[in-house]
Chains A and B, each alone.
Chain A
Amino acid sequence: MLKLSNINKTYHPGTPYAVPALQQLNLELPKGTFCIIIGGNGSGKSTLLNIIAGTIFPDHGDIYINQQKITSLKAYERSQFVARVFQNPHAGTAPNLSVLENFRLAALRTQKKKLRIGLGRSFEQVIKENIADLGLGLENKINQPMGTLSGGQRQALSLLMSTLDDTQLLLLDEPTAALDPKSSALVMQTANHLIEKNNLTTIWVTHHLKTVIDYGNRVIQMAQGKIIKDLEGADKQAINLQDLYSWFD
């Protein structure tokens, strides 16, 4: 489904501040993989997600989705395949638009935004049901501006938004970092529920080692722009927290 071959990315190349953020990175994710990425600060996790999403471009190497080379597609073009949830809930939603309007755009992620009124009764009904499924009681707030909701509520909604329109690859960069423990647990459960329900190919970056135990079917550790550990299947299931801590020694 996703293939990265020989990706290199250096920030500020040729200056004293040059940072080799990704080095000769290769990665292949078959469809349905739920991959958790861990690694120290500055190990290149966000850079990797941004390169997949197309908000930054690699210096070398190619990116394929379903055998199709997408290396030169811009971020807004890659949204055809890729949905994202950002660390900051403010980045992934528009605060001055109503919840429903946010969802309207998310429902059209892979489609043209045309000159027609799409906010009809039937659309509203579908979205209401979807939001009600989250069990947060937000279905009665769909006409409020998104900015009036809490960070956790917005993050839960942006997760739902990311799964609305034919998502092939879901990228989550520390989606719970800005949330309190309760909201964070809730968002994780929501994410897990949506990922399993839609059988999404997913990359989830986290600093929460417990997430690795509870979720996903593959785990990758990064350091200095490289993949240094990669476990899946039974090996992944066998990991315990002690092992994970020892990876960081």
Chain B
Amino acid sequence: MIFYTSAIVLGLCLTAMGLGIFITMRIFKIPDITTDGSYTLGASVTAILLTTGWSWWAIIPLTLLAGALAGSITGWIHTRLGVDALLAGILVMTGLYSVNLTILGRSNVPLNETDNLFSSLKFIENPLFSQLIIVMGVCLLLIFLVYGLLRTDFGIAMRATGDSETMTESLGINNPKMKTIGLSIANALTAFSGFLLAQFQLFADINMGIGIVLTGLGSVLIGSTLGNLFQHHSIFLQLIWVAIGAVAFQVLLATAISIGINPNLLKLITAVFVLGIVGIPKLISKT
């Protein structure tokens, strides 16, 4: 029970990143893998500031800013230098590894001794349930914020940019700028997942981001597969399904471990899961 509840909390912590990937992949149709770096970046900034005595709430804007900066660099490389989005993401992600190592100062920073989001807001005896409620609240807030943004005139312009660039260009929208802003928002959300996760697992690690983009992709894909089953096409429900997808993904991984699969194989399982979600519908539709 505790085991699965942790998986759910973990999934909810990763929902912010899922929303970020929803923005890049679903809205802008850009494959952005800056994620691996900006996730660790968010956790590193959080860890280092928490250990130097900052309050968790004061760290939030800095985490978001750090992530947004990473995303805007990817956006700039992609849109201004004309570098393929995938390569731009790899460049920034690789560069961020050194940045993160510099911020952390070593490969792992424990946070057991610090006052953090979860310890400060703890309101019931059971720590795990307290974490669950807090992170649920945070996720709902984020979903409402992202939904609100996508409903504004600016948000409609963002969505249109991913849909038809010829149209948006002829309607006064600066496509390169719009994509850069989209990548910034997405990576700010990803860094925020790093912020949550560092405080949930009580450490930040230089390697925590490796392959995390697949987890995010998997969440969005599971979410949209389930959402399609229920014929949910409204943006709001799609965002809710991202959260459900993120949780479902972690529960699946937890199940894999609980039936005795070697945790060393976790990344392989992640990759196979994502491949399954992408590939199975294709295989089914062919037969």
Contact surface of A with B, Cβ cutoff 8 Å: 53, 55, 74-77, 79-80, 82-84, 86, 90-97, 101-102, 104-106, 108-111, 113-119, 145
- Contact between chains at A76 and B164 (CB < 8 Å): no
Least Cβ–Cβ distance between B159 and chain A, in angstroms: 6
Q: How far is the CA of A163 from the CA of B156 in the complex (A)?
A: 20
**The residue from A74, A91, A119 contacting B167, defined by CB atoms under 8 A apart:** A91
A–B Cβ pairs within 8 angstroms, 20 of them = A55-B169, A76-B169, A76-B170, A76-B174, A77-B172, A79-B169, A91-B164, A95-B163, A95-B164, A96-B159, A97-B160, A101-B160, A105-B153, A105-B157, A105-B171, A109-B171, A109-B172, A113-B154, A115-B149, A119-B156
Smallest CB separation, B55 vs chain A (Å) = 28
Whole-angstrom CA separation of A118 from B154 in the bound complex: 10
| B79 contacts A by Cβ under 8 Å | no
Q: A76–B157 contact, CB under 8 A?
A: no
Asked whether A94 lies within 8 Å of B172 as measured between CB atoms, the reply is no
Chain B residues, CB < 8 A from A94: 159-160, 163-164, 167-168
A118 touches B159 (CB 8 A): no
Binding site for A on B (CB under 8 A): 149, 151-154, 156-157, 159-160, 163-164, 166-175, 233
A-B contact count (CB 8 A): 94
B172 touches A108 (CB 8 A): yes
A81, chain B: closest CB distance, angstroms: 10
Extra 11 A-B pairs, beta carbons < 8 Å, given A104-B153, A109-B170, A113-B157:
A76-B168, A79-B171, A86-B166, A91-B166, A92-B170, A97-B160, A109-B172, A110-B172, A111-B172, A114-B152, A115-B152
The reply to whether A104 and B172 form a contact with Cβ atoms under 8 Å apart is no
- Inter-chain contact B156/A104, CB cutoff 8 Å: yes
Q: Are A105 and B160 closer than 8 Å at their CB atoms?
A: yes
Residues of A within 8 A of B157 (CB): 105, 113
